[in-house]
Amino acid sequence: MTKFQEISVSAPSKVILFGEHAVVYGMTAVAASLGLRTRMRIRPHTSKIIINFPDVELQEAWSPCQLEKLFQFKPDFFDQVDAEYLDRIHEFLKVDKCNLRMASVICFLYLYSVIMDEVGVIPMEIRVESEIPIGAGLGSSAALSVCLASGLTGVLHQLNANNTQDNIFTTKSAAINRIVCKYAYLSEKILHGNPSGIDNSISTYGGIRSFKAGELTPVESLRKLRILLVNTNTFRNTKDLVLRVKEKKNSYPEIIEPVLEAIDGISTRFLSAGSLESEAEYYKTVTDLIEYNQSLLSSLGVSHPTLDDVCLTLKTVGMAGKLTGAGGGGFALALVPPTLPEKILSKAIDQLEAKGYTCYQTGIGVHGFTIEKS
């Protein structure tokens, strides 16, 4: 059997709520899935393998014969990236390693060859569209990686139905989730070298998770939280910002280490705040933690005039904001309590957008990847 039903998959983005920079030193960070999602459709094709990424105006197509020649060099393992095979994919596409535009194509070919090994090269057409801003620290690459991993696994399970104990369409068992997460992590390694695993885990499983010293732990949340995300549209260099904090820590350890420990304390206090029975007390606590966290991050030198402006604008309407991610630009976030009047939220958005910022209202802690046959 070489035919399969059309598949639709989606995966969420992610946001760091608390713990930026402290997490680099083995302390606690808190991350959550976002309502902004990447969506992918896979349908059978008569003769080719076609990928279409309209968001970046990219389309490629190959015959099965072309890919079979490439895939004969694929590795027998998928826990690590095979550098030699990756080089062959670059040569096949005639692109160098610095071509970020083709990165998604490279990940597709690598995952396709590994996941579809049992059934060979199957003609198909893939179309990917996303609500997630690219390169903004919201896990856009991880959401794509999870879509590719789950979608191709879905094709495999249709074609190999008689030999599959756990089927991705009938049960999202722990085993299925682990497989999708591992393939997505492989894709993230292709893209980023040595990623933490936070992004692909959040996009696979969804929800809110704490992260400390390499360990991810699910966080129970009975409240449906919403945030306002604000894109400063200012480019930031994560590596430079991490290095800046490291230099400060080395020069002034007696000052910087307590700051990082205080950020860790904010993360742990947020994790314990879920036990508060009073809604008013809970939202006041989280609002306070957001303000404290931003002040501490600013003292580390990782804020930016645009981020400061966003936080000040939010404060004028009674909302609290903080940077999310590395800082130096990028995104800020603000909690949207259920009691916040709509006119106040609208006023904040109008003021921010008038200054050239881009706003998104979204839920956090949403479900992870979804998959269904059409």
Cα separation, 274 vs 269, in Å, equals 9
Question: Of residues 199, 203, 210, 267, which has the active-site annotation?
Answer: 199
In Å, how far are 177, 253, 321 from 202, measured between CA atoms?
A: 11, 32, 22
Buried b (16+ CB within 10 A) or exposed e, 88-100: bbeebbebeeeee
Cα separation, 371 vs 202, in Å, equals 16
The crossing angle, in degrees rounded to 10, of helices 198-205 and 174-192 is: 140
Cα separation, 186 vs 172, in Å, equals 20
Of residues 293, 281, 301, the one with CA closest to residue 334:
293
- Is there a contact between 140 and 130 (Cβ–Cβ < 8 Å)? yes
Q: Quick check: helix, strand or coil at residue 69?
A: helix
141 is catalytic: yes
Question: Of residues 141, 201, 267, 303, which has the active-site annotation?
Answer: 141
- Is there a contact between 137 and 324 (Cβ–Cβ < 8 Å)? yes
- For 177, list phi and psi in degrees, rounded to 5: -60, -40
Q: Quick check: helix, strand or coil at residue 317?
A: coil
What is the total residue count of the chain?
374
CA angle 299–304–307, rounded 5-degree value = 105
| Contacts with 262 (C-beta within 8 Å, 6 or more apart), sequence order | 292, 296
| DSSP track, 346-368 | HHHHHHHHHTT-EEEEEEBS-B-
Q: Which amino acid is located at 131 in the chain? A: E
- Residue 38, H or E segment: strand 29-44
Catalytic positions: 141, 199
